[in-house]
Structure 1
Amino acid sequence: MRGLRTRVDSAKELLEIRERKLGEVQAGHDETVARQRQSQAHIANLEGESGDFEQRVEKLRAELNTSTTDKQYQAILAEMKSLQELRDEVETSQLAEMERLEAVTTEVTEADTQLKERTRLVQVAQEEFSTCEQAVADRMGELEQERGLAAAKVPERILKLFDEVADQTGGETLAPVIEVSKRHREYSCGSCHVQIPYYLVVDLHADGNSTIQQCPNCLRILYLETAEAGAEG
């Protein structure tokens, strides 16, 4: 179970990392699209201004043809020249904005590609996480069945102790006895690594793992590795 849980935790961590990265890419994509729309709107406004200037110039050209005095003619001509200069400035701005739009459109295309790839990676991570979760759920179901069968053969007192230790240790109920120095009779708990009294080891050897001994520090139920128990016997 520990291996499955580690796999689930790793899959969840990877999913969270990829989701955060997707969020960053999405934000960058949205900002780029917003700049593209602003540029398109600016170009549309400039086109409108240029069209307005052109209409006014054409109107003045018609008035120029019907002018009756030189003074009126020169005044209309001066206004036409001024409007044409303004129109030229607008068209110059329009060309510059079109270049910016072309550049930002390229950025949008690249951002679209990145967004699709990041979305795909998140989907892959989500599938892996779901698969791991299902594997843990399936294994938990199997273990519950196995536990039910085993529990029927275990005395109530021991079963209660096992459940209490499981609650206190997050399900990591058992811990192997680790031999530190056989000569000096030094042994430790395989979970918390704290030295345990030698008499506990003696009792476990005497009963062949059938007795219940707990680590004085972490309270996990101690057991002897098969090879060690056989060698001692």
Structure 2
Amino acid sequence: MSLQEQLHELFLLDQQLRGLRNRLDAGQSRQRAQQNKLVQLQQQQQELSHQLRQTQVNAQTLEKQSGEMEARINELRGRMNNVTSNKEYSALLVEVNTLKVDKSKIEDQALEQMNEVDTLKQRVTDIEQKIDDQKKLVSGADNEVDSARAEVGDRLDEVASKRQAAAEKVPADARAVFERLADSYEGEALAEVEEANRRRMEYNCGGCYMSLPIERVNGIMMRTNELVTCPNCNRILYMKPELKSALSGAK
């Protein structure tokens, strides 16, 4: 097997392996995204629940203050019925009126807090529903990953083993070039030679779509144990057997 054939075999196995890994990675990525969204919703629920409890405490405190003021007003009214001087009566009346104003303000604040309690209760209910819905999405994503692992797992190990065996057949220097290009181009280390016009001997790189010098095309035909690369993108060039056969017959 020539170097070009070894590299093409490695290229095909590398693509298979990357495809299987990408499928599993995509499912895991969706799983993480759904889980992260669930965590965010649960954090919002905790914050709203804390805010609700605090608002309920504030409302209860204000209601207690209002009740204490009402008791004080009733006490003062009782004393007013028993006073004997206008001065003392007037002083008690001023205090009663002041307390009534303050009590009215407290009651308004308490009403605002109770309205806020109702609003927060509805928000908590809404987010709890969102959490339930999100848990279903998380469960679906978990099932998708489990399914992908079950389907891809054995195949992934098999292809990885074949890729390793194919890589070991390639000379170290050529393998290093392949691995570097595979990392740079997300697995597209090789590029097919595409025929644009045979009569005018025009050919393009299938990776970057730039024109190829005819000597590069001839190099693939004649030097099968050498790396022939695109002068523009540096991908390793290969030619389909049909085109190679057609060009060989044309010479």
Structure 2 unmatched runs, 5+: 1-15
Question: Residue deviations 1:164-187, cap 9 Å, x none?
Answer: 122321154322211121111122
Aligned to 2:228: 214
Matched, 1:186 2:202: yes
Deviation at 1:101, TM superposition (A): 1.9
* Cα offsets for 1:140-159 (capped at 9, x unmatched): 5323321344456x4xxx42
**CA apart distance, 1:49:** 0.9
Residue identity in the other structure for 2:242? A
1:69 corresponds to: 84
Q: Partners in 2 of 1:42 and 1:199 — Cα distance?
A: 85
CA deviations 1:37-95 (Å, max 9, x no partner) are 44323212211211221332343355456x35243455445533443443344224322
Aligned residue in 2 for 1:229: 244
User: Residues 137, 173 of structure 1: CA spacing in aligned structure 2 closer, same or farther, 3 A cutoff?
Assistant: farther
1:157-196 equivalent positions in 2, closer than 5 A: 158-169=170-181, 170=183, 171-196=187-212
Percent identity of the aligned residues?
29
Paired AA for residue 171 in structure 2: L
Name structure 1 gaps, 5 residues minimum. Answer: none
Which of the numbers 40, 43, 51 marks the counterpart of 2:59? 43
Q: CA 1:197/1:149 → structure 2, altered by over 3 Å: closer, same or farther?
A: same
Question: Following TM superposition, by how much is the alpha carbon of 1:118 offset from its aligned partner in structure 2, in angstroms?
Answer: 4.2
TM-score (norm 1): 0.70
CA RMSD in angstroms, aligned pairs only: 3.9
In structure 2, how many angstroms separate the alpha carbons of the residues matched to 1:140 and 1:161?
A: 26
Contact 2:167 2:175 (8 Å CA) reproduced? no
Stretch moving more, 168-177 or 73-82: 73-82
The aligned length equals: 226
1:53 aligns with 2:69: yes
Cα shift readout 1:102-151 (whole Å, capped 9, x = no counterpart): 12321222233234434554565566568768877755532332134445
Do structure 1's residue 198 and structure 2's residue 214 form an aligned pair?
yes
User: For the structure 1 residues 203 and 102, does the alpha-carbon distance in structure 2 shift closer, same or farther, using more than 3 Å as the test?
Assistant: same
SS at match of 1:177: strand
Q: Please give the residue correspondences for 1:11-160 in structure 2 after superposition, counting only pairs within 5 Å.
A: 11=27, 14=30, 29=45, 32-33=48-49, 35-64=51-80, 67=82, 69-71=84-86, 72-73=88-89, 75-118=91-134, 120-121=136-137, 124-125=140-141, 128=144, 141-150=157-166, 154=169, 158-160=170-172
- The two structures have a TM-score, normalised by structure 2, of 0.66
**One-letter amino acid of the structure 1 residue matched with residue 229 of structure 2:** C
Alignment partner, residue 10 of structure 2: none
Change (3 A) 1:19 1:214: farther
SS of structure 2 residue aligned to 1:187: strand
1:10-35 deviation per Cα after TM superposition (whole angstroms, max 9, x unaligned): 55665676577667656765664454
Partner-residue secondary structure (3-state), 1:222 = strand
Deviation readout 1:190-212 (Å, 9 max, x if unpaired)? 223333332443354468xx544
CA spacing shift, 1:90–1:127, aligned 2, 3 Å: same
Larger relative contact order (CA 8 Å, sep ≥ 6)? 2
Q: Which amino acid aligns with 2:238?
A: Y
